[in-house]
Amino acid sequence: MIEFLCNLNNKEQWTGSIIAFKQFASHYEMTIHSRSRLNVIFGSSLSGGFACLPDYHACCYLNGLNDKFWNTEKLIKILGDVDGITVANALYSLADRINLKKI
């Protein structure tokens, strides 16, 4: 389990945990437990990284996992503030373990 901290405009903080993580041949999947439970499929494509949340019918492109600002902006647009920030921070917590490159 990997724990991480999230904050919204330095006014509100909460914690999150990656409670499941698996690498497949072409992508990764993780389950995040925070204010909600989020299943995220992510990986690389010709255009860079991507994240999909099938339960939310949502998907977006990512920059590198360590680009928290870019990824947060993109994820907030499809998930809202709290869940977008949570997913971006979960991905950031994996940045030193995974290198998403263009295929």
| Cα 26–chain centre separation | 17
Please indicate, yes or no, if residue 29 is contained in any of the structural domains: yes
Looking at this protein, which amino acid is placed at residue 84?
Answer: G
Whether 9 shows a pLDDT value over 80: the answer reads yes
Please indicate, yes or no, if residue 47 is contained in any of the structural domains: yes
pLDDT at 102: 54
Domain enclosing residue 42, as ranges: 2-93
- How many domains is the chain built from? 1
pLDDT in tens, 17-40: 999 999 998 899 999 999 999 999
Closest CA to 41 of 86, 99, 87: 87
Please indicate, yes or no, if residue 102 is contained in any of the structural domains: no
pLDDT in tens, 62-88: 988 999 999 999 999 999 999 999 999
pLDDT at 48: 84
pLDDT at 99: 75
Please indicate, yes or no, if residue 17 is contained in any of the structural domains: yes
Please indicate, yes or no, if residue 103 is contained in any of the structural domains: no
Q: Which pLDDT band holds residue 103 (cuts at 50, 70, 90)?
A: very low
Please indicate, yes or no, if residue 73 is contained in any of the structural domains: yes
Closest CA to 59 of 38, 75, 39: 75
Please indicate, yes or no, if residue 34 is contained in any of the structural domains: yes
Q: Would you state the structure tokens that stand for residue 29, as one six-digit string?
A: 């999947």
Please indicate, yes or no, if residue 99 is contained in any of the structural domains: no
pLDDT at 78: 96
